[in-house]
Amino acid sequence: MRCFGLRFAYEQAKHAPERGKGRQPHAGAHLHEIRLGERGLHGFAPERGGVSSAPLTERPGLEPPVASRTTRSTTQQDGRDENREERTMQIAIVGLGKMGGNMVKRLLGGGHQVVAYDRDPAAVERAASAGAVGAVSLADTVTKLSATPGPRTVWVMVPSGKATDDSIAELFDLLKAKDIVIDGGNSNYKDSIRHSEELAKKEIRFLDAGTSGGIWGLEVGYCLMLGGDKSAFDHVLPALTTLAPKDGLGYFGKAGAGHYAKMVHNGIEYAMMQSYAEGFELLKATDYDYDLAKLADVWNRGSVVRSWLLELAGRAFKNDPGLTHLKGYVEDSGEGRWTVNEGVARAVPVPTIAAALFARFTSRQENSFAMRVIAALRNEFGGHAVKKA
C-alpha cells in the first residue's frame, strides 16, 4: 500500500499547503530579500513587479491612508507592471500561519498598513518585527484599525469550520455598517453564503476569497478568486493587487463564488497530482533507471504536461530521488470531498477527481479489509493461494 506513487503524491501535497493554519512562516521570506532568478520559477522571464523594496520600520499606530503612490522594485519579480500607480490601504490579517504570515509581509512590501493578530503571541511578534502593528485580540485589532477614518477591513485567515465561524461571529459584534470581512481560508462555499447573510443583518460587507499559492505565495503572489459584495471588492482592490501576481485575481459574483471556484480548483489539483504520481511510478518500475528529476525538467520545457506541480516534482526528486524518506500516506483536507459531493448533488460525473480522492483513502490502509475479503473469496471459489497474516 505504501507505493512510490502515493509517496510522490504526499510530496506534492506537502509543497502546496494552503490551509491558512497556525504554522511557521516560510523561512527566509522577507519580501525585499527575494530573488527568483533570471528566468523565474517556470523557466520564463517574468516582468518585474511593483512592490516596494524599501525596508519598513515599526509604527506605534496607523498613519492616515496614502491616497496613491508609485512603486518600483528591482528585486521583486512577481509579474506586476513596473512603474504603475498603486494605491495603498489599511487592512488587518487575522491568522498568521504560513499563508497569513507571508501575506502580511507581501502587503507590507507593497506599502500597506497592516494590523496583525494571531492567538500565538510569537506569530504576532514576528509580524510586528516585519513592520506590522501587532494586536492582542480581535477587539484590539478592530480598535487599531479605527485609528484611521473609513470602512475597516479584516481578512480572516484561519482554519475553516469552527475557527472561522467563531472569528466572524466575534467580528459581527465589533464592526459597523460598511466595514468589510474577508474569509481567505478554505471554507465551504455554503458557509460563505451563510456568513454573508449573517453579516448583512448589520450591513457589514463580506467577501469570500479562494486563495491559492501556499508557501510560495510570498515570492510569486497569490491566485485570488473573489465572491461577495462588489463594492467591498472595489474597496480592497489595492490590497488584492499587491497580493496577486499580474492577472492573478478576479471577482466572480455573489457570496460563495470565490470558495466554490477554489473548491473545484483543489479537486483538479487532486487529479493532477494523482496522474503525475501514477506516471512516475510506472517509469520507476521499468529497467531504464530513469533520472526522474531530469525527466521532470525536460517535460517542463515545451511539453503539454508542463506545470508548476511538475516543477515541484523535479525539486522533490532532486532532494530524494527515491522519495525514501516518505511513507505513502496522504491526507485530504476536505475540498476534494466537497468537489465529489457537488458532482453527485448536481449529477456531474467527476470520476478522475473521485479516483484521486479514493487513492488517498487507500494510502492510509495498512492491511485493507476489502483486499482481505477479495483474497478470501478467490481462495473459496477457486482455491487460489493466499498469504497468511
Q: Which residues are catalytic?
A: 262, 269
Q: Cell numbers for 122, please give them.
A: 510569537
Q: Are 233 and 155 in contact (CB under 8 A)?
A: no
Report the alpha-carbon distance of residue 6 to residue 9 in Å, rounded.
5
Q: What is the 3-state secondary structure (H, E, C) of 294-325?
A: HHHHHHCCCCCCCCHHHHHHHHHHHHCCCCCC
In DSSP terms, 227 is beta-bridged to: 208
Q: How far is CA 227 from CA 78, 155, 214, 339, in A?
A: 24, 14, 20, 18
Residue 80: DSSP 8-state: P
Q: Cα–Cα–Cα angle for 336, 227, 102, nearest 5°?
A: 70
Nearest to 270 by CA among 15, 13, 21: 13
Residue 4 phi/psi, 5-degree rounding, is -60, -40
Nearest to 66 by CA among 133, 107, 112: 112
Amino acid (1-letter code) at residue 281? E
Report the alpha-carbon distance of residue 168 to residue 181 in Å, rounded.
8
Q: Cell numbers for 341, please give them.
A: 459531493
Q: From its phi and psi, is residue 44 left (phi > 0), alpha (psi between -120 and 50) or beta?
A: beta
Q: How many residues does the chain have?
A: 389
Amino acid (1-letter code) at residue 389? A
Q: How far is CA 296 from CA 300, 330, 350, in A?
A: 6, 22, 27
Residue 207 phi/psi, 5-degree rounding, is -130, 135
